[in-house]
Structure formats: structure tokens, C-alpha cells
Structure 1
Amino acid sequence: MNTEMSLVIFQRILIQALWGQRSSKKESRGLVTDDELEPILLYIENHMDKDISVEELCRIFFVSRSSLQGMFRNALDLTPKQYIADVKMKRAKLLLQEHGYTISEIAYQLGYHSLYYFSRKFKNYFGMSPSEYIKSLL
């Protein structure tokens, strides 16, 4: 087994252990807290180079789709999909400000396999294309 695969397995075990502790706390209180959402948010932050799906999050954290949707709505007033897009767009903006990456590199780093799709999402989110944003910084 290679090192990368071992790291992924370790992360998964750690996340599941943390999630299990929080789930038992939730059952005793009947409420969702930010602490219970934290491992999911960390997973999203640490895997922005992937196209993370709601189904993947449900599978990794042993939660139903409706429970996951409810957790995000209650804590963040967003769906998981909206949150993932929000985090990726904010990261894209920061990376564009650093001037060290091309738009293509940023798109790839954030899990977008199409530059056109990334540019369209960026424009929908910020009201200008990535290249227009770069020009506005100069």
C-alpha cells in the first residue's frame, strides 16, 4: 500500500471516529451543533481539488442525505452543495490575488476539469470573469 493510500485511510478512520463521538452527543441532546459539522467542513476544506458530491459526504460520514442537508441548513443556512461552491469560489479569488497561478491551474486545483465551467461559475458568483477580476487588481 502506498503512502498516499495509507494517509487517505487514516483520514477516513479519524473522521469516522470524530463523527461517532459527535453523533452520540447529538443523540443525547437532539440538536445539531457546529462541532458536529466541523469534521465535514474540514473534509471539504482538505479535498477542494476533488469534485465532492453530497453522496460522497453521506457515505464518508455515515449520515443520510436529508440529515446532512438539515445540518447544513441549521448551522449555515446553505445546502452542502452551496457551501462547497462558496468555499471553492472564495479560494479561487484568493489564489487569483496571489498572481502565482494561471486561471487553468486554479481551476484544476479546485477540482474543475473544464476551464470554461470554472470561469462561468466564477462569473456567476462574483459578477465578473476570472480574467476580469485579475485586471481589476492591477
Structure 2
Amino acid sequence: MATQVKNKKPLHLAKMNIKKGDTVVILAGKDKLKEGTVSRAMPQTGKVIVEGLNVVKKHVRPQGQTRQGGIIEKAMPLHVSNVMLKCTECGEATRVARERRPLGNDQKLRPVRVCKHCHKVIADRTRS
């Protein structure tokens, strides 16, 4: 029986424009055009998990005294190409540009994510 090996990118090459805490719109699949918050981003595999969306029912066996068996609902990963970031300023689903803009107290040039529609910086919800 052959097992399928998942291709993982090296960590220094794995880059995504979507981060944990971002609001996204799903573009494809059974939850098309629904919005949700990213609960986990996996840049090495190029996937994200959106809270409450792309949920499947999974049958689990009991494991001794610790876990009860039964049917549980679990959010499954979506490929990054099937989700689109929702801008914090204009509220539209948008593509993302990366620019170097002066930020912070020292006004040093730092890379930021920018909305392609309104050209404003997309707020980073994990650091707020």
C-alpha cells in the first residue's frame, strides 16, 4: 500500500498573504461566498483553517479513558487560492500587495500588506 507524501516547502520559502485572525471570503467549494476568520494558517502546506466553515463530520474511536468515541464536526483546511482576504478599511474582498512603508515610532521602512482597491494598509489583527 503506497502512502502519499505531502510536499512541504522549507520554512524560509513558505510565504502567504493571509495570516491568523484575518477575515476571509471563500471563493470555491461548498461554503462559497461565506465569510469567516482564519483560526490557523499553515504556510508550509499553503492552507488555512477558517472558523466554522468547511466543516466535515468525522467518526472517531474511543481512546481508553481519555476520549469518548462518536461523530465530531471538524473544520478542515482550505487551500490559500480558494480564499480571498477582506480589507479592513473598504470591506471588500481584495488581492494583496506588499509595500515598504514607514511605520512605528522610528518611522523605519517596514513591509506591510496593502489593499489593491483602496491602497490602504490592511490591519494586522494578531498584533493589535
Q: TM-score when scaled to structure 2?
A: 0.23
Larger radius of gyration: 2
| More helix by percentage | 1
| More strand by percentage | 2
